[in-house]
Structure 1
Amino acid sequence: MFMAELKSFIMAIPSFILMGAYFFCAQAQGQLGDSTSVRSYVDKLSFGIDLGTDFDEFLVDNPDVGYFHLVTNNNVKLTLGLDYDFLSLSVGLAPKFLPGNDDDELKGKSSFQNYQVNVFPGRLVQNVFFRRMKGFYVENTSDFLPTWSEGDPHLQFPDLKSITWGGSTGLVLNKDFSLRALLNRQEWQLESRGSLVPMIQYEFTKMTNNFEDNTYGKENIVDLRVGVGYYYNWVVASKFNMAPSLRVGIGPKFSKYTLSGEVEKNDYLVAEYGAGIQLGYNTDHFYMGIIGELDGTSYRDSDSNAISNNLWRAVFYVGYRLEPPKKLNDFFDRNKPVIGKPR
């Protein structure tokens, strides 16, 4: 009952934030139309495809056992995106037909789904997501099995599953800088600009695993973090840009671990870090580019384990903008709330 209420609370957070954004944006002036710094494409219906190599790793450094490197066996992700007006939707999957996702015999079966919604109320940036991962293997199996050699099956945790509900809310401080130009390409930066972006993040994660001795382990985790990022969009030429970024954050992690009926509760202080670089090409209809990115967290638990979770991403994206159907345009015009109006 408690966890059901907690999950409902976490999922309700973005609604309260968007209600606040409603009133915030009613007073703000915006950048959803063309300006000298930004060109807007929010009146276009945009379809995008991202093809990326995601390396999601969990690192545990135990003073007694040693270094433990846990990863999923689905490094290549396919993300489909749809953007119109103030709304951005995306679905991420790891199909088995992609190279690098099909070596189940050596690394075990893994599955991945990621669903995201982004809205842009004025200078606010609101994200809500659901992510599910199942099936992990030990990258450094040779450290635990001395007889292991390349080509042998890795140590595997096929039933280890992670489900996360979460979101983030950020504020772009520089009104002449477009974060949308980097996140979903609904805008294009015409003049080189940068901005600090303060952000809060909130996540609820449920991790479960069935062990070989038929015991069942479950961990419920709540993460709350406050951070800031700096993004700079350098306009190399009228159709080319380069955009580096740096991010840091800090906040508490609350954990409740249950194994065979025994419950252990802990709380930790977590540091967050990230960096990225994006190269893009843009026309009024066609756009493409590449992204290199690292997002990670690190903390030390009560058993002196140094625990890190790093997501390394290399992405190629391509997309096309076209005129929206009249019925879609009319629907948004009739029902668009204040959060979609210019800031």
Structure 2
Amino acid sequence: MDLKSCFLSFALLLFSYLAFAQSTALNTAIDTSAVVYGKKANDYIYIYKNRITAKAFYIKTSNSLVISGREGEDVGFNLYPNKQDKIGAAVAFRSLSASYSFSPNSLAENPNDKDSKLFNLNIRTYLGKHWMQTLDIYNQKGFYLDGHIEDSNSHIYLQDTKSFKIGGATSYIFNENFSYRALANQTEKQLKSAGTFIPTLVYYYTRHNVLFDDEFGNREINTKIKSYNIAIAPSYQYNYIPTKNVFISLGASAGLGLNFSSSKNKLDALDNEDLTSLLTEINFNGSITYDIDSLYFGAHYNYLILNYNADSFTYIKDNIPYFQAFVGYRFKASNKLVQRAENFNDNLIP
């Protein structure tokens, strides 16, 4: 099953579960004749409780590697995907949000380079007032290899090279007056400025299959790199409200952890190596949103860098830059959908 099918299956499963939750709680009396579509949680946060928040967006993102020599060797490479731009949509209701995006050929760096692909899936959910969970999936095909070895420079298109990354973060938000939902999916509105300390556990699994054939069809590169990363990353985020319609957020984190890497060269078994090394994590972000009642638009930027040793000779910077421009609208949820959500909560938490 491909990733697109997995996403559709997840959406179908969620809908089916909500329907099942409703059918098992027929005796629960819920008055939906006068649905309240929003409320103030406190003086700092307004919750769009029974509104469906939807948005369309443009994204420029990728997962690239910068490879350099550890011992001062004159070696350096940048392995980056052909496709980095995407369009998509996101929807959020209550504590669950999901997005889907794709990269059409017209947005590729070089549309003439065949078979390049980019798929990205992000899911974020909240557990109670403090816990937040994210899941990220990147699936890419078609990379450029730019770099040099000693005095030789290269610019090669690797159409068969693939990359897969899955992982995410588990975070604890200390300040109840701080709204991460106002930053991430606009299902809440920050009324007054507030900041918070957010300790986070970050974890990713990444696999790169680097393949290249010369002009005669002979394979010159056939290397598989697997990487497991885990880090504890303390962070701080601040939401600034200069006026009632303008939202600005800034944040950063710096973490330490471990990397477990495995490098397999199918053309030369002597280059195979497994290595455990120190991992450093750096992440910073900024966001701005302008809100006019139910309509809103804005932009968000995030940059995650994971640094570790891939083997005895090379040092890797695993980069995930992310830019999003978006426009969205908050729709009133139907009484039936609100009832399903209430029944789901009643069955989940008796």
User: Above 0.5 in TM-score?
Assistant: yes
* Deviation of the 1:235 alpha carbon: 0.2
Q: For residues 112 and 297 of structure 1, what CA distance do their matches in structure 2 show? A: 20
Q: Is the 8 A contact 2:286 2:301 kept in 1?
A: yes
1:46 aligns with 2:53: yes
Q: For residues 97 and 326 of structure 1, what CA distance do their matches in structure 2 show? A: 41
- Which residue matches 1:110? 116
In the TM superposition, 1:196-235 aligns within 5 A as 196-212=197-213, 213-214=218-219, 216-235=222-241
* Deviation of the 1:280 alpha carbon: 1.0
- CA separation of 1:321/1:67 partners in 2, compared to 1, >3 Å: closer, same or farther? same
Equivalent residue in structure 1 for 2:143, among 92, 115, 136: 136
Q: For residues 219 and 316 of structure 1, what CA distance do their matches in structure 2 show? A: 33
What is the root-mean-square deviation in Å for CA atoms of aligned residues? 2.8
Q: Is the 8 A contact 1:181 1:187 kept in 2?
A: yes
Q: For residues 40 and 307 of structure 1, what CA distance do their matches in structure 2 show? A: 42
Q: For residues 47 and 255 of structure 1, what CA distance do their matches in structure 2 show? A: 39
- Which residue matches 1:6? none
- CA separation of 1:144/1:323 partners in 2, compared to 1, >3 Å: closer, same or farther? farther
Q: For residues 128 and 76 of structure 1, what CA distance do their matches in structure 2 show? A: 20
* Deviation of the 1:169 alpha carbon: 0.7
- TM-score, with structure 2 as normaliser: 0.78
- CA separation of 1:94/1:300 partners in 2, compared to 1, >3 Å: closer, same or farther? same
* Deviation of the 1:131 alpha carbon: 1.8
**Cα offsets for 1:84-105 (capped at 9, x unmatched):** 011000112222233xx15144
- Which residue matches 1:294? 303
Q: Is the 8 A contact 2:231 2:258 kept in 1?
A: yes
Q: Is the 8 A contact 1:42 1:86 kept in 2?
A: no
- Which residue matches 1:336? 345
Identity between Structure 1 and Structure 2 (%): 22
1:130 is aligned with what amino acid? I
- Rg bigger for which structure? 2
Moved over 3 A (4+): 139-146, 213-217, 337-341
Q: Paired residues, what number?
A: 302
- Which residue matches 2:25? none
1:185 aligns with 2:191: no
**Cα offsets for 1:105-146 (capped at 9, x unmatched):** 4x6652111112211112111112322111110245799766
Q: Is the 8 A contact 1:255 1:266 kept in 2?
A: yes
Q: For residues 186 and 244 of structure 2, what CA distance do their matches in structure 1 show? A: 15
Q: Is the 8 A contact 1:108 1:137 kept in 2?
A: no
Find the residue that maps to 2:127 and give its secondary structure: coil
Equivalent residue in structure 2 for 1:316, among 325, 346, 349: 325
Q: Is the 8 A contact 2:84 2:118 kept in 1?
A: no
**Cα offsets for 1:204-257 (capped at 9, x unmatched):** 222223342447433332211110111101101001021111111111111223
Tell which has more relative contact order, 1 or 2 (C-alpha 8 A, sep 6+).
1
Moved more, 118-127 or 50-59: 50-59
1:255 aligns with 2:261: yes
2:240 is aligned with what amino acid? W
Find the residue that maps to 1:97 and give its secondary structure: helix
Structure 1 gap ranges (5+)? 1-30, 149-153
